[in-house]
Structure 1
Amino acid sequence: MRHVASLWIGARLGEIERAAIASFLRLGHAFTLYGYGAIGNLPAGVTLADASEILPGDSILRDRRSGSPAMHADLFRYAMVRATDALWVDLDMIALRPFDFDTPWVLGREDDGQLNNAVLGLPRESRLLASLCAITPATRGVPPHLRGLRRQKYRLRSALRGGLPITEWPWGSTGPRALTHFATLTGDVGRAMPPQAFYPVPIHAVRRFLTPGALRPEDLPADSFGVHLWGRELRAELAGSFGGRVPRGSFLDLIRAEGA
C-alpha cells in the first residue's frame, strides 16, 4: 500500500484535517505528517516527522495578501517528493478508495484546463519535478505561467524591484499554475488523471459540502479515488453563509464524524 504524507503548520489539527487523515488510515495507508513542532491532537497511527529535514521552517513563506502558508506547502511537497518515496496528499483530501497506483506518476486535473497538486507523485529524475524544485524561497522574478499583458505588467514590477519575490506572485503561481505550466512544457500533462479521480466536486460547487442532503459519499463517481474539499474556499463559505457552524447532515458533517 502506498505511503502517503503531508505537512501541517500549526500546533493542532482542525476537524477537516483529522477527517482527511482518518480516511487514509481506514484504507490501510501508512501516514506521515510533517510538522515544525509538536502537534497536540495527532490521530493515533500517524507518524510525526520533522519538516525542517525537508525544507527549513525558520521563515515560513506566506502570501503577502492573505498570509496563507500555502506557498510554503507547495515548495515543501516538491522537495518531499524528491527526497522520499511518499505520495503527497493535501489535508483536505478525503480518500474514498486506496491510493494504490502502479506508477510513480500520480497527478490529476481539477478541470479541463488546469492540473492541481493536492495529490502528487512524480519520478525523482523527471524533468517536471526538477522544474518545480527549481522554485525556491529565494526565487525572484516573473511567474513563469503568465502570458500577454499580465506578464508584461509583472515584468515591469519585477524590474523595478530588482526581481519580484515569490510571496508577491499571484495566488497559485507556485502550485497548480506552476504544475500545469511545467507539465505542459515537459509533455507530461497527458499523464494527469481526469477531474473525477480527485476533484469530482469542482471548486465553484463547494457549497454542496455544506448543504444538508446535497451530497453523500455514495453520490460521488465510482471511479473517484478521493474528493478534494477545497479547504480555503470551504472555510470562507462556512464562515460567510453558515456562521461558522457545520450544518447537521451535510457532507462535511458526515466526514468529520468519521475522523473524530
Structure 2
Amino acid sequence: MSTSNTVATFWYGAPFGPIEQVSALSMLDAGHKLVVYTRGTIDGVPPGIDVRDAAEILDTGDIVRHRKTGSVALYSDLFRYALFNKTDHTWVDLDIVALRPLPMDKPYLFGYESADEVNGAVLRLPRQSPALAELSKFTVDTRGYPPTLQGLRRLKYVARSFGRGLPISQWPWGSLGPRALTHFLGKTGEISNALGIEAFYPVPFQQAARFATPDDLSLDSFPEPVLAVHLWGKALRQHISEHHGGRVPSGSFLEKAANHYATRFDFDISVLF
C-alpha cells in the first residue's frame, strides 16, 4: 500500500510553458506534493514545487538521448523505473492535468491508453513488482534488441547489427515506454491492475487538438471516473504552434485551466510557447 502523497517527474532543458505549468499546479491543487527532477536549472517553475537533481535517482553522467530524434524520452523511461526502486513516489508526465486527487491506497497505478496498450504517463509500481524487475534490467549501456521487436523487424535489426545487438540509444523510439510496459505487465499478469481508458486517457492522442479548441472541453467536462487527463503535450504544442501562432487559444481547455490555476495560486501562467 502506498503511503506517499508525492508525485514526481523529470524535466530537462526547456523552460516550463503553459502545459507544464498547468500540469504542475493541478497536482498541487489536488493535494499532492510535486518533485521535479532535472539536470541544471529550469525557468518558469511555479512556487511550491520541489526541484531536485535527477542524479539522485539515476546518475548516468550525460543525459542519454535517442540517437535519431535527440529525444530525452529514453532517459525519462529509465528514470521512472529507477524512481520506483528508490522511492515510493508516483510518476506523472508534465502534460497530465489532475482533476481530482490520484488514488494512493494501492501499490499499482496505471491505466489503459487504448484497448490493448497501457501508458506510463501516470505510473506507480511497487518495488517487488516482477515487471519492474524486468524493466530495471535495461540501462544506458544495454546492447541488444527491444523486448517487443518481433518478426521481420527484429531480423532487420539483427542484420543491421551483424548479430551483435544495437546500443539502446539506437533502438526504435519509445522502445522502453508503453510498449515495453504493456509487454512485461502482460507477461507477469500485473496488467490486471490497470484502470480503464477513462481514468487518464478519455481524450485519445488523435484528438489532442481538442485541448486547444475554443468552447469544447473544460475542467468540468469530465465525469468522476476520470481522475486526470493527458494533454499529449508534444502533439498539442505542435498544433498550437502551427494553427494558433504559438498562443493558447482563448476559450480552450488549456486557456481556461491556465486562468483557473493562475487565480488559485496567484501565479502568472504563460499563454505563449
TM-score of the superposed pair, with normalisation by structure 2: 0.90
Q: CA RMSD in A?
A: 1.5
Give the gaps of 5 or more residues in structure 2: 263-268
What is aligned with 1:164? 166
Q: Percent identity, aligned pairs only?
A: 47
**Which residue identity does 2:248 align to in structure 1?**
V
What is aligned with 1:236? 238
How is 1:87-166 mapped onto 2 (pairs within 5 angstroms)?
Answer: 87-159=90-162, 162-166=164-168
How is 1:78-89 mapped onto 2 (pairs within 5 angstroms)?
Answer: 78-89=81-92
- Out of 218, 227, 234, the position equivalent to 1:225 is 227
Paired with 1:155 and 1:51, the residues of 2 have a C-alpha distance of: 33
- Out of 48, 53, 67, the position equivalent to 2:70 is 67
**Which residue identity does 1:56 align to in structure 2?**
D
What is aligned with 1:43? 46
What is aligned with 2:204? 202
SS in structure 2 of the partner of residue 159 of structure 1? coil
- Out of 180, 184, 187, the position equivalent to 1:185 is 187
What is aligned with 1:211? 213
Paired with 1:63 and 1:17, the residues of 2 have a C-alpha distance of: 22
- Out of 250, 253, 257, the position equivalent to 2:252 is 250
Number of aligned pairs? 259
Contact kept? 1:36, 1:57, Cα under 8 Å: no
SS in structure 2 of the partner of residue 6 of structure 1? strand
**Which residue identity does 1:165 align to in structure 2?**
P
Paired with 1:120 and 1:246, the residues of 2 have a C-alpha distance of: 28
CA 1:11/1:146 → structure 2, altered by over 3 Å: closer, same or farther?
closer
Contact kept? 1:11, 1:38, Cα under 8 Å: no
What is aligned with 2:265? none
**Which residue identity does 1:24 align to in structure 2?**
M
The CA deviation at 1:57 is 4.8
The CA deviation at 1:11 is 5.9
* 1:16 matched to 2:40: no
My pick for the range that moved more, 164-173 or 78-87, is: 164-173
The CA deviation at 1:191 is 1.1
Contact kept? 2:12, 2:42, Cα under 8 Å: no
Residues 35-72 of structure 1: per-residue CA shift (max 9 Å, x gap)? 11223332211112211011125221222222111111
What is aligned with 2:176? 174
The CA deviation at 1:19 is 0.8
Paired with 1:31 and 1:21, the residues of 2 have a C-alpha distance of: 7
My pick for the range that moved more, 180-189 or 56-65, is: 56-65
Paired with 2:153 and 2:242, the residues of 1 have a C-alpha distance of: 31
Contact kept? 1:142, 1:158, Cα under 8 Å: no
Contact kept? 1:200, 1:221, Cα under 8 Å: no
My pick for the range that moved more, 51-60 or 170-179, is: 51-60
Paired with 1:91 and 1:180, the residues of 2 have a C-alpha distance of: 21
Residues 189-226 of structure 1: per-residue CA shift (max 9 Å, x gap)? 12111111111110001111111112122222321110
Residues 2-60 of structure 1: per-residue CA shift (max 9 Å, x gap)? 21111111263222111111001012111111111223332211112211011125221
